[in-house]
Structure 1
Amino acid sequence: MLAQGVGRCLLPPCSRPARSSRGLCSAAAADAVDRVRALLQLCADRHYICPGESNAEMFRRGWSCGYGPLGVELRRNLLQQWWHSVSGSRARVFAVDTLSSSVERGAGGARVVGSELFQRILGQPELSGERLAQELKRLLLSAPSLRPSLLQGALEQFVPSLEMVNKKLPFGLAEAGLCFQPSDGSGCLAEVTQTSLVWFCSPRTSSQWLDHWARHRLKWWRKFALSPSDFSSVEVPEHELEENTSRGMKILYNFPWGLESLETLWCRGDAELLQAYKGVRSKLQSRDGRKSIPHVVSVSGNMDRGVIAFLSNSLQQLRREDSKKRLQHRKVLKIHPVLAPVKVALDTGKGATMELRQVCEGLLQEFLEARISAWPGYLDTLPTSLEHLNAKYDEMGVLFTVVIGENTLESGLLQVRSRDTTIKETMHISEIRNFVFKYISAAEKF
């Protein structure tokens, strides 16, 4: 469970509910606060993130936080789909893997310095102020710098990659990994799981490629969304353009607390490429008929923010009356089948026996061999009603709940419940693996 008070300061002051008799604070703002609190509480309770208010706040801000088992799996699935998307959409996109720190990235940026060595220099009383400053400067300049983005690594890989494609444009270099970016005004750094596609093309086509990748990326984000309209794209205003860029686009998600960027695309020209190779133009020229220096279109994404975007987008809070007219609240994470961390939960309901557990073990092994993630609910020794099991698995985002009972031992029949429809149907045990596999495969094609 999260510590009490989660969600207290999750919205900016202008968005928080104001307490006034005239209702200056809208009901929508109050609902947004409640939705954020419910989402973060659910993520902690159902193993998407580790408990704790500070960890939840890191997650909400789009930083890499302490993920639980389901959060790790969701992020892994998201990154896997990102790889399929960028490498499968064009024939000439190649993967690279660069170092997260380097001593050759210039004097700027954050540096990695051992605290013991730093304190040893500070603890030398014989050093004057000027000498102390020189020693600290020498230490910092010799220490490796942490990358704030994946761009520089791709630029450094350009020349060997250009030779690989026989100097023909266009082509792209893709990478995913941790980057270190300022978290707030204090200067402290936060880890961010970033994705990067750096596209090298002729100068005359760079703007068209920016438009192409912007359409491609928006379509990709919307593909997995329960509410696609929450994802949008926008042109970056001219006064907000970064140095060395001529155009920019952003892929945005409409969180309960407002719009935030998931991916940013820039037309970067050739200045940074020339700088990476100290202005030696002969190394950089391509064979496009003009021997020009390629222009760079970069696409960088924050996958930690992407994880919380899909969790927020998939959360449904439903209310209904039961047979006794009591109001029931049901929370469901309707995560896309391809991204869902757990596809199937295996349970025995009440009265588990050794024979039923053995059936579950065999079925679990079948799912694992087919690379279908399954949750071994039958290992839970505490007796739980099917109603509570369904509520738990809905909050976890599990696609199907499979209940193995005495009838399974007699006839091979088991009960399968769908997360999205709540419909229960009877199926033979020999059919369930192919049923789930076909369901996920069909969802991936749309």
Structure 2
Amino acid sequence: MLSYSLRNVCILKPSQCRITRALQHTWRHCSTSPSEGLDQVRTLLQLCVDRYYVSPGQTNTELFQRGVSCSYGPLGTELRRNLLEQWWHSVNSSTEQVFGINTLSSSKDTGTDALRIVECEPLKHILEQQELSKEQLIQKIQTLIQRSPSLRENFLQGALEQFVPSLELVNRKLPFGLAETGLCFHPSDGSGCPAEVTQTSLVWFCPPRTSSQWLDHWTRQRLKWWRKFALSPSDFSSSVVPEEELEESASRGVRIVYSFPWGQEPLETLCSRGNTELLQTYKGVRSKLQCRDGRKSVPHVVSVTGNMDRGVMAFLSNSLQQLKKEDSKQKLLQRKVLKLHPVLAPVKVALDIGRGATVELRQVCEGLLQEFMDAKISTWPGYLETLPTSMEQLNTKYDEMGVLFTVVISENTLESGLLQVRSRDTTIKETKHISEVKNFLSRYISAADHI
């Protein structure tokens, strides 16, 4: 099967494409009815487009819903970055001896079932040779494919190759882990084009006698981490990978899954892989692999592989609340709020101006914006908006963006230093002195991170 890209290369896979399971779950897994679930999905996808999480376009939103890398908007990009930072922090702080690595996305791998980058010009040249028989044509194309660099589908092999160079770093003692994040390529789901996925990977090397306990340890840690940021933690759960679905080298596996409106989808997969792949990587030379654990044994591998694009989708789905409210004319309206965890929220505070001298108020906003930036508090400069908008409309917009607080600078601020702070989660408006706001926000975010 040949799959062409719009650039000067195409991506090929010698064998038949494997089918993903992204949206093949049945509705019987849902806690809501099919129509309610579909409505939730439509509402979420439209909100993500309207509020700068995902770029518009049917194809792009379909990629996003499938849990693969899509074209993110400014807020979606920031949310994914926050999620990756928290993942990195979690694997480094939950136990000692985890080191970051960076491997190439392509290599001269000799595997016959790998995705490969093939330049179009050599391929076109072969196809234009009309004197070739069918068998000769197939042979030349196969040779071209096999000589082309392969694209990684996960980070495992790169970590295995880094094992021996990393041994001296840890004085040849176990356990330790190698972590990496970045893009990987998943085989086509029938569309003819492989999908990019933002993956996280922890490859944990441990003594053979403790590999089962380490798999259990990391399962508890990872489920706890996902639930930490959830508005509804029970939507995140773990399940054992059925034996028939395990990779050939894995003896045991666990999935961290999220219950979407259409069914459960895996966010992370943990596997106890034994030492077969490690031995294959180093051509069976056991002496290179032995560590100081009191026995001359080859370490076992526990892999933790996550899909952060699906993780972004999971937290957006989990945080969306649709609440009933009355407007100023006592008309019943539906209020949509993205109650993202304070640490993950792309925008912590929005700065707006109320009534008063516009030039002076903007100067105050600029000074406050600089304070927030210095404190690494992401801020939406709403005061730069030129179109007249009511505070009610602004609150609706910021709630749907997931902004934690809205700070309004008014004429009263110029006179007394007092301003108004509105909370996304409670809708309560408090009056604070301008000198207190930065510390208040920093303490709030820090406290939320330690819950």
Q: TM-score, normalised by structure 1?
A: 0.93
For the pair 1:429 / 2:434, whether they are aligned, the reply is: yes
The alpha-carbon deviation at position 285 of structure 1 amounts to 1.0
Give the corresponding residue for 1:15: 27
- Compare 320-329 and 429-438 and name the one that shifted more: 320-329
Verify the 8 A CA contact 1:372 1:437 in the aligned structure 2.
yes
Change (3 A) 1:88 1:201: same
Give the corresponding residue for 2:384: 379
Higher relative contact order (CA 8 A, sep 6+): 2
Give the corresponding residue for 1:127: 132
Distance 2:273 2:292 in 1: 20
SS of the residue 2:116 aligns to:
coil
For the pair 1:322 / 2:327, whether they are aligned, the reply is: yes
Q: How does 1:280-319 map to 2 (within 5 A)?
A: 280-319=285-324
Verify the 8 A CA contact 2:355 2:411 in the aligned structure 1.
no
AA in 2 matched with 1:296 = V
Verify the 8 A CA contact 1:346 1:402 in the aligned structure 2.
yes
Deviation readout 1:327-384 (Å, 9 max, x if unpaired): 1110000000000000000011456611111111111111111111000111110000
Give the corresponding residue for 1:227: 232
Give the corresponding residue for 1:3: none
Verify the 8 A CA contact 2:345 2:404 in the aligned structure 1.
yes
The alpha-carbon deviation at position 68 of structure 1 amounts to 0.2
Give the corresponding residue for 1:118: 123
For the pair 1:369 / 2:374, whether they are aligned, the reply is: yes
Q: State which of 181, 184, 196 in structure 2 corresponds to 1:179.
A: 184
Q: State which of 104, 107, 112 in structure 2 corresponds to 1:99.
A: 104
Deviation readout 1:290-334 (Å, 9 max, x if unpaired): 110000000000000000100000000001233544111100000
Verify the 8 A CA contact 2:254 2:270 in the aligned structure 1.
yes
Change (3 A) 1:27 1:247: closer
Distance 2:355 2:257 in 1: 46
SS of the residue 1:382 aligns to:
coil
Verify the 8 A CA contact 2:26 2:263 in the aligned structure 1.
no
AA in 2 matched with 1:339 = L
Verify the 8 A CA contact 2:25 2:264 in the aligned structure 1.
no
The alpha-carbon deviation at position 73 of structure 1 amounts to 0.2
The alpha-carbon deviation at position 52 of structure 1 amounts to 1.0
The alpha-carbon deviation at position 200 of structure 1 amounts to 0.3
- Compare 229-238 and 67-76 and name the one that shifted more: 229-238
Verify the 8 A CA contact 2:215 2:271 in the aligned structure 1.
yes
Verify the 8 A CA contact 1:274 1:280 in the aligned structure 2.
yes
Q: How does 1:17-36 map to 2 (within 5 A)?
A: 28-36=33-41
Distance 1:262 1:404 in 2: 42
SS of the residue 1:167 aligns to:
coil
Give the corresponding residue for 1:170: 175
Q: TM-score, normalised by structure 2?
A: 0.92
Q: State which of 50, 54, 61 in structure 2 corresponds to 1:56.
A: 61
The alpha-carbon deviation at position 115 of structure 1 amounts to 1.7
SS of the residue 1:97 aligns to:
coil
Change (3 A) 1:434 1:351: same
Q: State which of 316, 328, 336 in structure 2 corresponds to 1:331.
A: 336
Distance 1:26 1:113 in 2: 46
For the pair 1:193 / 2:198, whether they are aligned, the reply is: yes
- Compare 107-116 and 294-303 and name the one that shifted more: 107-116
Give the corresponding residue for 2:79: 74
AA in 1 matched with 2:146 = L
Distance 1:27 1:289 in 2: 54
Distance 1:14 1:238 in 2: 21
Distance 2:354 2:287 in 1: 70
Give the corresponding residue for 1:145: 150
Deviation readout 1:190-218 (Å, 9 max, x if unpaired): 00000000000011110110000000000
Verify the 8 A CA contact 1:107 1:141 in the aligned structure 2.
yes
Change (3 A) 1:94 1:14: closer
Distance 1:195 1:208 in 2: 22
Deviation readout 1:111-157 (Å, 9 max, x if unpaired): 00122221122112233333322322221112110001111110110
Q: How does 1:395-434 map to 2 (within 5 A)?
A: 395-434=400-439
AA in 2 matched with 1:15 = W
Q: How does 1:197-276 map to 2 (within 5 A)?
A: 197-276=202-281
Verify the 8 A CA contact 2:227 2:236 in the aligned structure 1.
yes
Distance 2:51 2:119 in 1: 37
Count matched residues: 429
AA in 1 matched with 2:73 = G
AA in 1 matched with 2:412 = N
Give the corresponding residue for 1:341: 346
Change (3 A) 1:13 1:308: closer
AA in 2 matched with 1:260 = E
Over the aligned positions, Cα root-mean-square deviation in angstroms equals 1.8
Distance 1:323 1:369 in 2: 38
AA in 1 matched with 2:215 = L
Verify the 8 A CA contact 1:349 1:385 in the aligned structure 2.
no
Verify the 8 A CA contact 1:337 1:443 in the aligned structure 2.
yes
Distance 1:12 1:102 in 2: 32
Distance 1:200 1:136 in 2: 39
Distance 2:200 2:31 in 1: 37
- Compare 131-140 and 402-411 and name the one that shifted more: 131-140
Distance 2:260 2:59 in 1: 19
